[in-house]
Amino acid sequence: MIGAGADMGIELELGVLRGICVLGTSFFGIFEMVLPIALGLGGMIFHLVWCRRHGIHPLEATPRRRYYALRRWDWVE
């Protein structure tokens, strides 16, 4: 005969998983607001530094020929 605890295997496992989901969402939910902002600022700073380092205006992408050459795009006149 199998003990009474063996019948609770799947219920216990699902209960633990449900608890992890609820607590994990509550605990890590703050990063859902902070992380996209931090990544956006980091990407913008990288873009500004990369453009300045390569002699390109970061907002206007001028001179266009240099920008196209760095992106390995074909320049069509």
Predicted local confidence at residue 4, as pLDDT: 54
Looking at the structure of the chain, the number of domains it has is 1
* pLDDT tens string 43-56: 889 989 988 898 88
One-letter amino acid identity for 38? Answer: A
Here the tokens at position 22 are 């609820």
Q: Is the pLDDT of residue 1 over 50?
A: no
User: Would you say residue 56 lies in a domain?
Assistant: yes
Q: Is 1 a domain residue?
A: no
> Has residue 77 been placed in a domain?
no
Task: Say if residue 63 is preceded by a cis peptide, omega within 30 of 0.
Answer: yes
What local confidence, expressed as pLDDT, does residue 7 receive? 64
Question: Does a structural domain hold residue 59?
Answer: yes
Q: How would you class 24 by CB atoms within 10 Å of its CB: exposed for 0-12, middle for 13-18, buried for 19 or more?
A: exposed
pLDDT at position 2? 53
How many Å apart are CA 51 and CA 42, to the nearest integer? 14
Can you give the residue range of the structural domain that contains 18? 7-71
Residue 18 is assigned to a structural domain of this protein: yes
Residue 30 lies in a domain: yes
